[in-house]
């Protein structure tokens, strides 16, 4: 293995060493290795996941050569799982690649405990009844599950898991200008905003300008910060009045950032929800994540004074080098202090529930603290629940909305083709010659499905029903590569835990690309 | 219909559903049947520009979407940092031309596909090379290269007298681009949908740090790196150009940046960051490239076959927070210098080719220096290579009117360099030349021109 750091350079710049380590520890199981599954794994093998296990019971047919890059002429008649696995191994020898020649449906039926060994299962081209069963199995075993399906010019991708902790990027910086701590206030006191040296005046960072101006304001307003529209306007005018020259970028930045002073104190509603979750009542079976949330909750209620731990970094801003570096140190010191308190609380908590107090590493706690403000918990419905009782008003709304109608009709039709297949042992339009019959059968099936879930009075367009039969369950390479690409990206998000995974069902619309995310 | 009789037929088992069956949500030219499948194989010629992250995916996707005649152009060689996403390359390929290895790998796996690689700069090919393709697919990471191919494709476009584009001169382009978890795919039908230049505002120039910040008040690691790279290097190495691909140079910048950071007490200078800042490295991952390329390949198939409606006309993808896709229908800029009818140049019949070339340098809409000129595929004057320059040099003293066959008006192509955002870039311009005082000129030809 040559220079993994160089090889992974372009992705390390996105998810860092920590994300890469998480990927390298992950074991991924793929069900069915047609093009959708093969393409999903290809992207993950390139990125360096720990291990893959390919499960497929079929043999390679000539037709597979037309849509799957991982098989070639010499593969015809051989195990598809074996051929695909072999090619994938070629892409990255750091990945442990295994295959099992077996139909996923059989494994789901006969050996459910098999799946508990994996970090994540990607199930492709799986019918409705197997999806429902697999979802239950994976939830029980706490294994993340992703469904991906390509079907003609449509398809879908769904992730299933009980709880996902996510940390969205692109969050507003954490400057605490609405609630500065003691050391920051003290530092601001050493600054004279009306310094006569013009160079010093135009290099006072906006953070300090705002801290001082907010303090002044509060003094004249019973300790309160600007809140009404007039007050906010007045506050900005006051900042403007302190400018001594037109080219003072630092004051312009202060006016632009003044909203950071107006933002209400305390934690976001998302975070409120996280610390109010019933999982915060921890016991010896709680996951590391919830142990840390419990510590976070205590911190917010005690030392934090209603605030989450400080993130510790500041954005670039117009400033003298000296002020900027002093500020950087102040923020870092506060973040470190907050972290130490939380670490202590985590250790105590672990001890209390009978675990090794050092069983959660410093790095993990540090990263948790850095992202604490952004925590979000997504809970997913059981596939079975969504299938049997989708949120009907939502579905009805989607089906009649101009932007959503095609994607949501595809969703209904994708479910209808599975019912169709269960009834007639083939997919609509799978074979030539039965087209007209299949079209009317599919229509009846889809209408029946809508009635069963209680969604009445919506009609699916004839054009789309025809189109679905025309697709005849074809797995087109380009569509499979798209859906597989999305599935692999979701895998990466779920494993690195640095980004927000999609919630709901992503329905691909390959006709005009007006794809949609549905939550039902 | 009879079951597939040969292995060759059954290979397109899945694709046949779309190509052989009639549908209602299809393109206006769609004629389903085995003939369409054969036409795709034989007559559809697709050029893939770029054999990097997108290019590798595109070649695979197109080879498995019924296309047989593909060509790929790329001037780069394979590097280790490509291997996390450019799946056609292996460690032992490092140093070899991307186009050649990519073409070979796809041909090895997909039998019957013919891919011709071109290991050269896109500017090195003559216009005629590009005019041969049915569709041009772009898998690039540079705005300049996109701009250039766009001007090439737009140069083929001709207009009818009623200002409608002539159908057969429209050269469709499909363009993809990615950065991290984000990307776009778009379809460009020059003259019909906005070209790259029409919506150039979608790609704003990169913001650079003010020099006074670098010199006087550095605050971040990037400031220290750019100081070493942009200021200190020139101070120390008088006249020697900085080469970002020379590891010695990069190491020097890193060391200088480290010293400066220590001096100011600034944390965070690393070798990796130094490379990132100096080379302006865009983070790239396999999954986003796969998604965007797949969308581009699917659109290429739809344009070539009509088997479904096409994207109209710009798809954005963002997977960092949840999953968002959006289709935007941008509109053409009617005054676009690229996809419009061309820049109008009115000339006296006595003006020589040399005088014409000089005039292009002064023309406010063009500012084109060192132009090579061609007319209806014929080179009138070529600045390079030396052989062609010598062959065409004698034309310089001949009146352009004569060189163009004494027609009252016609289109000529001029390629040269121009300055964009302080950077010299190659560009190609379509010029509508009209000779004054020659019969057959109506008022309409000059109408609408500012
Ligand atoms: Zn244009």
Are residues A48 and A143 located together in one domain of the fold? yes
Contact A66 B1 (CB under 8 A): no
In this predicted structure, the answer to whether residue B444 has a pLDDT above a threshold of 80 is: no
pLDDT at site A502? 87
Counted residue by residue, chain B has a size of 450
Lookup result for tokens 């994976």: A138
Do A354 and A443 reside in the same domain of the chain?
Answer: no
> Is A353 part of a structural domain of the chain?
yes
Q: Do residues A351 and A395 share a domain?
A: no
Q: What is the pLDDT of residues A225-234, one digit of tens each?
A: 999 999 999 9
- CA A436 to chain centroid: 42
Contact B320, B185 (CB under 8 A): no
Contact criterion met (CB below 8 Å) for A141 and A115:
yes
What would you measure as the largest C-alpha separation in chain A, in angstroms? 89
- Please tell me the distance between residue B185's alpha carbon and the centre of ligand 1 in angstroms: 17
Contact at CB, A502 and B323, closer than 8 angstroms: yes
- CB within 8 Å: B84 and A316: no
Whether the predicted pLDDT of A481 surpasses 60? yes
Q: Is A482 on the interface with B (CB under 8 A)?
A: yes
How much distance in Å is there from the Cα of B362 to the middle of ligand 1?
A: 23
Residue A62 backbone dihedrals phi, psi, to 5 degrees: -55, -35
Interface of A with B in 360-379 (CB under 8 A): none
Query: Maximum CA pair distance of chain B?
Result: 80
A176 found inside a domain? no
> Does A215 lie in the same domain as A347?
no
DSSP H helical ranges for A26-114: 35-47, 80-91, 104-110
Closest CA to A299 of A254, A343, A350, A238: A343
Q: Residue length, chain A? A: 520
Q: Which of A480, A97, A288, A512 is nearest to B61 (CA)?
A: A480
Q: Residue A457 has what pLDDT?
A: 80
CA-based radius of gyration for chain B = 25
- Whose tokens are 């990927």? That residue is A23
> What pLDDT shows up at residue A218?
93
Q: Are residues A187 and A155 in the same domain?
A: no
Whether residue A6 sits in one domain with residue A124: yes
- A72 and chain B in contact, CB less than 8 A: yes
Inside any domain, residue A171: no
In angstroms, the CA A316 to CA B226 distance is: 15
Query: What DSSP string describes B107-175?
Result: HHHSTT-EEEEE-S-GGGS-HHHHHT-SEEEEE-S-HHHHHHHHHHHHHT--B-TTSPBPGGG---EEE
Question: Between the CA of residue B141 and those of B94, B101, B176, B325, what are the distances in Å?
Answer: 20, 19, 9, 20
Q: Which chain A residues are within 8 Å of B282, Cβ to Cβ? A: 10
Compute the distance from residue B1 Cα to the ligand 1 centre, in Å: 46
User: Among this protein's residues, is B296 annotated catalytic?
Assistant: no
- Over 50: is that where the pLDDT of A442 sits? yes
* pLDDT value of residue B6: 53
* In contact, B339 and B191? CB cutoff 8 Å: yes
Give B90-147 pLDDT, tens digit per residue. Answer: 999 999 999 999 999 999 999 999 999 999 999 999 889 999 999 999 999 989 999 9
First to last CA, chain A: 46
> What pLDDT, on a 0 to 100 scale, did the predictor assign at position B139?
97
Dihedral sign, Cα of residue B421, residue B422, residue B426, residue B428: positive
For residue range A324-350, list pLDDT tens digits in order: 999 999 999 999 999 999 999 999 999
Instruction: Identify the bridge partners of residue B183 per DSSP, sorted by sequence position.
Output: B178, B317
Mean pLDDT, chain B, rounded, equals 90
In tens, the pLDDT along B201-247 reads 888 777 778 888 899 999 999 999 999 999 999 999 988 889 988 88
A222 close contact with B: CB closer than 8 A? no
C-alpha angle B395-B396-B401 in degrees, rounded to nearest 5: 70
pLDDT at B439: 67
Q: Are residues A208 and A302 in the same domain?
A: no
Is residue A261 classed exposed, middle or buried when 0-12, 13-18 and 19+ CB atoms within 10 A define those classes?
buried
Gyration radius of chain A's alpha carbons: 28
Does the pLDDT at position B297 exceed 70? yes
Range of the domain at A142: 2-166+476-518
Query: Per-residue pLDDT tens for B303-328?
Result: 999 999 999 999 999 998 889 999 99
**Residue B23 pLDDT > 70, yes or no?**
yes
Instruction: From B5, B363, B317, select the one nearest B179 (Cα to Cα).
Output: B317
Residue percentage of chain A with pLDDT more than 70: 97
pLDDT at residue B450, as a whole number: 37
Kindly list the residues from chain A whose CB atom is less than 8 angstroms away from the CB atom of residue B290.
39, 42-43, 481-482, 484-485, 488
Same domain membership, residue A146 and residue A22? yes
Judge whether residue A164 has pLDDT over 70.
no
pLDDT above 50 (res B4): no
Q: What is the pLDDT of residues B397-424, one digit of tens each?
A: 999 999 999 988 888 889 899 887 777 8
Q: Are residues A14 and A127 in the same domain?
A: yes
| pLDDT score of A171 more than 80 | no
Residues A190 and A305 reside in one and the same domain: no
Mutation for testing the B interface, residue in A470, A474, A502, A504 having most B CBs under 10 Å: A470
Closest CA in chain B for residue A463 = B24
**What span, in angstroms and rounded, lies between the C-alpha atoms of B360 and B371?**
8
A28 preceded by a cis bond (ω within 30 of 0): no
Give the confidence band of B24 by pLDDT, cuts at 50, 70, 90.
Answer: very high
Is A475 within 8 Å of B57 when comparing Cβ atoms? Answer: no
Residue of B nearest to A479 (CA): B294
Find how far residue A438's CA is from the centre of its chain.
39
Which residues from chain B sit within 8 angstroms of residue A462, using beta carbons?
24
Q: Is this complex scored with an ipTM above 0.90?
A: no
Same domain assignment for residues A436 and A349: no
Q: In this predicted structure, what is the pLDDT of residue A3?
A: 64
Asked if B115 has any chain A CB less than 8 Å from its own CB, the reply is no
Q: How far is the CA of B154 from the centre of ligand 1 (A)?
A: 8
Q: What is the DSSP secondary-structure string of B420-442?
A: ETTEEEEEEEEEEEEETT-TT--
Alpha carbons A416 and A411: distance in angstroms, whole number: 9
Among the listed residues A375, A195, A194, the one whose alpha carbon sits nearest the alpha carbon of residue A297 = A375
Could you tell me if residue A177 is inside a domain? no
Q: How far is CA B261 from the centre of its chain?
A: 39
Secondary structure of residue A132 in the 3-state scheme: helix
Contact B23 A61 (CB under 8 A): no
Q: How much is the pLDDT for B209?
A: 85
Q: Are residues A364 and A440 in the same domain?
A: no
pLDDT of B204 reads 78
pLDDT digits (tens, 9 = 90+) for B63-92: 999 999 999 999 999 999 999 999 999 999
pLDDT of residue A364: 85
- Residue among A73, A474, A477 minimizing CB distance to B17: A474
C-alpha B47 – ligand 1 centre gap (Å): 21
The pLDDT tens digits of the residues spanning A79-137 come to 999 999 999 999 999 999 999 999 999 999 999 999 999 999 999 999 999 999 999 99
Measured distance CA(B29)–CA(A226) in Å, rounded: 63
B52 half-sphere exposure, CB direction, 13 A CA radius: 22
pLDDT of residue B435 exceeding 50: yes
Strand pairing category for A51-55 and A27-31: parallel
What integer pLDDT is reported at residue B448 of this predicted model? 39
Residues in Cβ contact with B284 at an 8 Å cutoff, skipping those fewer than 6 apart: A10, A11, B53, B84, B85, B178, B179, B180
Q: Which residue of B has its CA nearest to A94?
A: B84
Counting other chains too, the contacts that B1-10 makes at CB distance below 8 Å and 24 or more residues apart are B1/A432, B1/A433, B7/A62, B8/B112, B10/A61, B10/A62, B10/A63, B10/A66
Mutation target among B85, B313, B323 for the A interface, most CBs of A within 10 A: B323
Encoding tokens for residue A399? 């089906």
From residue B434, alpha-carbon distances to A66, B226, B400, B437 in Å are 52, 49, 11, 9
Domain of residue A13, CATH code = 3.40.50.720
Residue of chain B with shortest Cα separation from A518 = B323
At A288, is the pLDDT very low, low, confident or very high (cuts 50, 70, 90)? confident
Q: Which of B56, B212, B307, B336 is catalytic?
A: B212
Q: How far is B60 from chain A (nearest CA, A)?
A: 7
Of B264, B289, B310, the CB nearest to A325: B264
Note whether A212 and A205 are within 8 A (CB).
no
Residue A75 DSSP one-character state: G
Q: Which two structure tokens, joined as six digits, stand for A318? A: 């117009």
Residue A175 lies in a domain: no
Give a yes or no: residue A173 inside a domain: no
Partners of residue A318 in chain B, C-beta under 8 Å: 217
User: DSSP character for B240?
Assistant: P
Q: Which two tokens stand for residue A262?
A: 């107006």
| Total domains, chain A | 4
- Which pLDDT tens digit goes with each residue over B349-407? 999 999 999 999 998 888 899 999 998 878 999 998 888 899 999 999 999 999 999 98
pLDDT at A43: 98
B43 burial via Cβ count (<10 Å: 0-12, 13-18, 19+): exposed
What's the burial of A516, exposed, middle or buried (CB within 10 Å: 0-12/13-18/19+)?
buried
A494: helix, strand or coil: helix
């Amino acid at each position: 293995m040559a220079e993994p750091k160089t090889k992974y350079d372009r992705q390390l710049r996105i998810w860092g060493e920590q994300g890469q380590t998480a990927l390298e520890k992950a074991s991924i199981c793929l069900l069915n290795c047609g093009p959708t599954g093969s393409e999903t794994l290809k992207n993950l093998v390139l990125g360096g996941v720990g291990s893959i296990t390919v499960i497929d019971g079929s043999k390679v047919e000539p037709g597979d050569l037309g849509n799957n890059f991982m098989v070639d002429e010499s593969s015809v008649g051989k195990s598809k799982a074996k051929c695909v696995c072999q090619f994938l191994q070629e892409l990255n020898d750091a990945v442990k690649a295994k295959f099992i020649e077996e139909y996923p449906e059989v494994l789901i039926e006969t050996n459910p405990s098999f799946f508990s060994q994996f970090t994540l299962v990607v199930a492709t081209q799986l019918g409705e009844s197997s999806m429902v069963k697999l979802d239950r199995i994976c939830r029980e075993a706490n294994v993340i599950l992703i469904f991906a399906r390509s079907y003609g010019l449509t398809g879908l991708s769904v992730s299933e898991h009980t709880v996902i902790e996510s940390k969205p990027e692109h969050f507003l910086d954490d400057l605490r200008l609405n609630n500065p701590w003691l050391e920051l206030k003290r530092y601001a006191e050493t600054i004279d905003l009306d310094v006569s040296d013009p160079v010093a005046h135009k290099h006072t960072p906006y953070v300090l300008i705002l801290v001082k101006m907010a303090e002044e304001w509060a003094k004249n307003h019973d300790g309160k910060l600007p809140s009404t529209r007039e007050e906010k306007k007045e506050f900005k005018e006051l900042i403007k009045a302190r400018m001594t020259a037109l080219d003072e970028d630092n004051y312009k930045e202060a006016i632009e950032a003044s909203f950071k002073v107006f933002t209400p104190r305390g934690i976001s509603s998302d975070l409120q929800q996280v610390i109010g979750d019933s999982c915060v009542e921890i016991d010896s079976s709680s996951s590391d994540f919830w142990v840390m949330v419990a510590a976070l909750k205590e911190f917010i209620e005690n030392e934090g004074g209603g605030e989450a731990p400080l993130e510790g970094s500041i954005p670039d801003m117009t400033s003298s080098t000296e002020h900027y570096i002093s500020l950087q140190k102040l923020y870092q010191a506060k973040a470190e202090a907050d972290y130490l308190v939380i670490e202590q609380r985590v250790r105590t908590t672990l001890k209390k529930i009978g675990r090794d107090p050092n069983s959660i590493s410093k790095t993990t706690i540090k990263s948790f603290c850095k992202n604490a403000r952004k925590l979000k918990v997504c809970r997913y419905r059981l596939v079975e629940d969504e299938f049997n009782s989708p949120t009907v008003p939502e579905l009805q709304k989607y089906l009649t909305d101009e932007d959503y109608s095609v994607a949501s009709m595809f969703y209904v039709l994708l479910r209808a083709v599975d019912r169709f297949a269960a009834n007639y042992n083939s997919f609509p339009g799978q074979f030539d010659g039965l087209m007209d019959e299949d079209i009317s059968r599919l229509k009846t099936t889809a209408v029946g499905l809508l009635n069963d879930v209680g969604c009445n009075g919506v009609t699916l367009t004839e054009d789309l029903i025809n189109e679905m039969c025309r697709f005849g369950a074809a797995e087109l390479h380009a569509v499979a590569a798209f859906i597989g690409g999305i599935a692999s990206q979701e895998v990466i998000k779920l494993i690195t835990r640095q980004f927000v995974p999609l919630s709901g069902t992503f329905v691909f619309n390959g006709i005009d690309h007006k794809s949609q995310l549905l939550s039902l | 219909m009879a079951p597939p009789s040969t292995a060759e037929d059954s290979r397109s088992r899945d694709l046949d559903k779309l190509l052989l069956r009639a549908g209602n949500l299809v393109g206006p030219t769609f004629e389903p049947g085995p003939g369409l499948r054969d036409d795709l194989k034989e007559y559809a010629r697709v050029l893939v520009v770029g054999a990097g992250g997108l290019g590798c995916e595109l070649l695979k996707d197109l080879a498995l979407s019924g296309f047989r005649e593909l060509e790929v152009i790329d001037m780069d060689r394979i590097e280790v940092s490509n291997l996390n996403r450019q799946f056609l390359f292996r460690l032992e390929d490092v140093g070899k031309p991307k186009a050649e290895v990519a073409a070979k790998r796809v041909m090895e796996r997909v039998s019957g596909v013919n891919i011709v690689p071109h290991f050269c700069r896109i500017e090195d090919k003559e216009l005629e090379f590009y005019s041969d393709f049915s569709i041009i697919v772009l898998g690039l990471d540079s705005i300049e290269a996109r701009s250039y191919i766009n001007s090439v494709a737009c140069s083929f476009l001709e207009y009818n007298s009623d200002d409608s584009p002539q159908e057969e001169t429209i050269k469709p382009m499909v363009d993809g681009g990615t950065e991290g978890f984000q990307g776009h795919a778009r379809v460009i039908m020059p003259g019909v949908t906005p070209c790259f230049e029409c919506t150039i505002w979608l790609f704003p120039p990169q913001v650079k740090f003010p020099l006074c910040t670098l010199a006087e008040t550095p605050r971040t690691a990037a400031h220290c790196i750019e100081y070493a790279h942009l200021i200190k290097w020139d101070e120390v190495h008088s006249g020697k150009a900085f080469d970002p691909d020379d590891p010695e140079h990069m190491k020097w910048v890193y060391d200088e940046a480290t010293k400066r950071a220590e001096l100011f007490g600034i944390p965070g200078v690393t070798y990796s960051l130094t490379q990132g800042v100096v080379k302006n490295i865009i983070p790239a991952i396999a999954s986003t490239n796969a998604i965007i390329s797949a969308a581009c390949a699917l659109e290429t198939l739809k344009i070539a076959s009509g088997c479904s409606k096409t994207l109209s006309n710009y798809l954005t993808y963002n997977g960092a927070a949840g999953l968002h896709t959006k289709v935007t229908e941008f509109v053409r800029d009617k005054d676009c210098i690229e996809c419009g009818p061309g820049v109008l140049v009115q000339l006296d019949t006595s003006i020589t080719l040399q005088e014409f070339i000089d005039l292009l340098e002064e023309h406010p809409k063009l500012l084109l220096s060192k132009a090579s000129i061609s007319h209806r595929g014929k080179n009138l004057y070529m600045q390079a290579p030396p052989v062609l320059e010598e062959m065409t040099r004698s034309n310089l003293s001949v009146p352009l009117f004569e060189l163009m066959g004494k027609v009252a008006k016609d289109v000529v192509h001029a390629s040269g360099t121009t300055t964009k955002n302080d950077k010299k870039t190659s560009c190609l311009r379509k010029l509508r030349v009209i000779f004054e005082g020659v019969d057959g000129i109506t008022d309409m030809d000059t109408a609408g021109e500012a």
